[in-house]
Structure 1
């Protein structure tokens, strides 16, 4: 078929536009839901499994592993101690949830910061730590990036200490595995903090977000993370029979499916070690794991990168609140909640069954309501929300971890029993 000069030039232009689009996409981090994973031998660093290991995405709260790494560096150097206290700035107090609810001027020990980061994934605590070491969060982020480069994390850039949405803050599963391995090897004494299941701050118990650690045989850390643009991320480490593996997953669709998948990857890693190790599978699609099909199909269907919100969610008023234990199982993801950050599922609704002046009656009210609800709370947890100070302190008796439909059904059942109850929207 003969083409006119005009037709030929039009085809050239179309090809150039298409090529430019492909190049633009390849330069961007992976879109939300883009699946990537890796498993390495913690001793040798050899790769036991890899799928899209060098695809850039947003680390979300996995960022806090590097924040903690630098805190541990300072502790080892003797420049700070676990009982050293840092002061909360207005900038730190204004961070989006997940947070401790620290107030400007409030002092908090380094050990409490460490525990808040590994369990609550508190964004305000991350900024307090950053400013306590680096002076400003921006300078601390530069320190984080330099440390990443020194550790061989070639594709990682940090812009903040928490993992809140930032277009320039990117990493890969390979880099995060390097970080996990380096932390375990260089700070073995402090790594134990990642196995913390609960700690008490300001009189309130705070449970870990890392539910896989509670269920997987041999797991002892390390960090979960979520923002809308990344999906559900996780670094895990487990030790069996003297052998340790480290796994990283980016882009899970829910916390529950991510955790289940990570368990399979860790199993695969241990199996490969028993056979004498393995060879990296370049850009492996599924490695014969049964639950990868959906993730891989989503990755193949991806056309364009999703960008995280250029700004964080509007901060909640600074207050000593939200000492929340995570739900014991994942609630449904809420794709409209782009600014939900931290590690708890973003669509985790709660119900409130009363407000009290003391903690004990609030906890009893929530416990009594949970007993009446029976199976409806099998995937939820008691959650006492404290507000105010002194004589104005109020303890809200809540049960969290519901979907919206479950929360409304729970209140309907309690209402029929003559009990007060109201659904609590996590985004309200």
Structure 2
């Protein structure tokens, strides 16, 4: 039975270690970046140069749309309200809708022109309407981006036309894609439209994956010479929504093919993990502590976080009822310095921690803490703690090392990840 359990664990680890090529075969590697995240759980599935500074190009229009959706939701503007086109907007370089100075379009037409045609003249007109001027609107965009957690993004215009100061990262663009879906589900259907018609002319969506790849329902493409070909893609299958970002593609076709490859690999991995869990549940009468860690930790650790998870890499998962429970069931601690008296980690507010597992019993949590405590020098001054939590009526025990600095937490997770150990850096107060 022990051998069988090891076989199951090894199989799971193979599935958990999801690999894709570092870059598509014909990518311009100086501009390439990619990021894939399971929006449902907050788990990052692939990251390549995801924090490197890049030019967003027309991905910028995702933020323009976020601001427009926000204005719609607040009642500042309505879908049938008219937006007037200035001479400045009308003179924008392609891609354009071909508007003339003095023309007007409805807000709903503007949305479709931004999503499907990626019209620069429309983006400028929207910025001027909402911000009183495109420059001021770009400042408002940057401020809102910061509020959304896009910490490495600066906007200088509403369209994404070339500006060396307008920069972002693949990770930030994934965060923006998640925010659009999370905050404005009532408007997200516009990203799923394959075409729209204006003045008798029909325009096809620049995002070729919409309507072609299963589950894809958005979001946006972009290109300027300095950026290469960019795309943010959102796709939902079953219980999971994946957001994939590719930046710096050498062509639209290569970019789209690589984005599709990343999506398929992500969904295949999730499906295999589910199959492995089901097989293990049917075949094994008792789940070993090691397997318990692998199966539960990733699911539990990300459920409640409004801060990034897994080395600070993602956005929040959907709301779930979580109540911290008392710790009196934790008798006979295994480590002399284990903290079993603190009822709530908020008493340690200001300190970082790392979570190395989640289990059905306190004993299993303590076993895991004992097992990995020597795996990283960053844990030398940490305080091990097994803490109970009720999640939708089920009691689990989190295995955490507390009282760490941010640098220590991230170093500990780097060390443990190198040994194929689950580890999540947890921000203060989480």
Tell me the residue number matched to 1:222. Answer: 219
Runs of 4+ displaced beyond 4 Å: 276-283
CA distance in 1 between counterparts of 2:145 and 2:167 reads: 12
Alignment equivalent of 1:135, drawn from 132, 137, 148: 132
Question: SS of the residue aligned with 1:66?
Answer: helix
Alignment equivalent of 2:69, drawn from 67, 72, 78: 72
Question: SS of the residue aligned with 1:213?
Answer: coil
Shift in CA distance, 74/80, structure 1 to aligned 2, threshold 3 Å: same
CA distance in 2 between counterparts of 1:186 and 1:269 reads: 24
Question: SS of the residue aligned with 1:209?
Answer: coil
Question: SS of the residue aligned with 1:76?
Answer: helix
Shift in CA distance, 183/33, structure 1 to aligned 2, threshold 3 Å: same
Q: Is the 8 A contact 1:60 1:162 kept in 2?
A: yes
Q: Is the 8 A contact 1:50 1:281 kept in 2?
A: no
Query: Deviations along 1:226-270, whole A, 9 cap, x unmatched?
Result: 000000000001111131100001000011111111111111222
Tell me the residue number matched to 2:249. Answer: 252
**Which ranges in structure 1 are unaligned for 5 or more consecutive residues?**
1-30, 284-428
Q: Is the 8 A contact 2:193 2:210 kept in 1?
A: no
User: Is residue 107 of structure 1 aligned with residue 129 of structure 2?
Assistant: no
CA distance in 1 between counterparts of 2:48 and 2:32 reads: 8
The structure that has the greater radius of gyration is 2
CA distance in 1 between counterparts of 2:132 and 2:232 reads: 28
Tell me the residue number matched to 1:383. Answer: none
Query: Deviations along 1:11-56, whole A, 9 cap, x unmatched?
Result: xxxxxxxxxxxxxxxxxxxx98521100111123221110011000
Q: Is the 8 A contact 1:33 1:231 kept in 2?
A: no
Question: SS of the residue aligned with 2:46?
Answer: strand
CA distance in 2 between counterparts of 1:201 and 1:195 reads: 18
CA distance in 2 between counterparts of 1:219 and 1:79 reads: 31
Cα RMSD (Å) of the superposition? 1.9
Query: Deviations along 1:105-158, whole A, 9 cap, x unmatched?
Result: 101100000000001000000011111100100010001000110011110000
CA distance in 2 between counterparts of 1:154 and 1:49 reads: 20
**Which ranges in structure 2 are unaligned for 5 or more consecutive residues?**
1-27, 275-297, 300-308, 314-430
Alignment of 1:15-54 (within 5 A): 33-54=30-51
Q: Is the 8 A contact 2:94 2:119 kept in 1?
A: yes
Number of aligned residues: 253
User: Is residue 158 of structure 1 aligned with residue 182 of structure 2?
Assistant: no
Question: SS of the residue aligned with 2:36?
Answer: strand
Q: Is the 8 A contact 2:40 2:239 kept in 1?
A: no
Alignment of 1:27-426 (within 5 A): 33-274=30-271, 275=273
CA distance in 1 between counterparts of 2:269 and 2:183 reads: 25
CA distance in 1 between counterparts of 2:52 and 2:30 reads: 12
CA distance in 2 between counterparts of 1:239 and 1:92 reads: 36
